[in-house]
Structure 1
């Protein structure tokens, strides 16, 4: 289930009932730790909503997946480092980081096109993993590197990996064991 952070907070009373009826996994649109960025995304939420939502989901034994976005026009290395720290402090069961992508038909696409920010017109790369445009202070390549650092920061923690592998939540345990096996497989593959 995909949910806004403030909706989790505003309807916390129904979480135990939803868990009892079978809800196991919630995707939270955290997006950013910056109130101004959240406002520019027209989220009408606050960073505190994300903190409260993750706590409530954990209390209700519901797997929380936090979704974060980097590559906003005013993003810098420092603002993205702050987001990484926020994601680690927030500690959802799983974090997914994506790069702001100017999809056709969106306001950001029109703005980016008019201002000449789009540097990649290969539609196959419009996947929120490839940097399509730079920020005011980072090149598209640097934004791409920052995405790697976000994942490395979150999943590079041995305590998080081991905690995930031995989690009491079956879903989290399976997911982290799968990720661990893929990491080992990729390391073995690189030897040949």
Structure 2
């Protein structure tokens, strides 16, 4: 009876061992890993290529924000320069009125005082507009230097206007102011062209 049980136990053990899966040979595992490696690298290359293409599309498909901001600023600056030119033309009108008053043998002092007050108001308005334009302008804009010239001229014109006394002696200063206003308008016209040229350059690069 004991021999029978022993034989049966050995038979069951042998059957169980045969049923277990055999471990894969080392060579087979290495071969499988070598076969899978190119596939992984291929997927990685596809991912990298897709990312690069997308970045290129973003760079060329949409204008950089900095350039967009500069275009908006250029348009706003051109409008501001137009306003400054309008103020300069009003300065010409105001100084012509003063010239007419002081050219008379008998100067109407009240008329002169009122005209001078209006003249100074117009000059200060032009100065405020120019200051706003300087805040709008941006680095490497050719109009920046031109606006500095306008600022220097306005400071000189303001002082000349303040020094007017209300007699024929003012005619020399008035003649100088007339020349300066013409030069100021020419300078602002040049500034506007510089702004337009710079804007066109930005748009070509975008």
More strand by share: 1
The structure with more radius of gyration: 2
More helix by share: 2
Q: Which has the higher contact order (CA 8 A, sep 6+)?
A: 2
TM category (shorter chain) comes to under 0.3
**TM-score for the superposition, normalised by structure 1:** 0.26
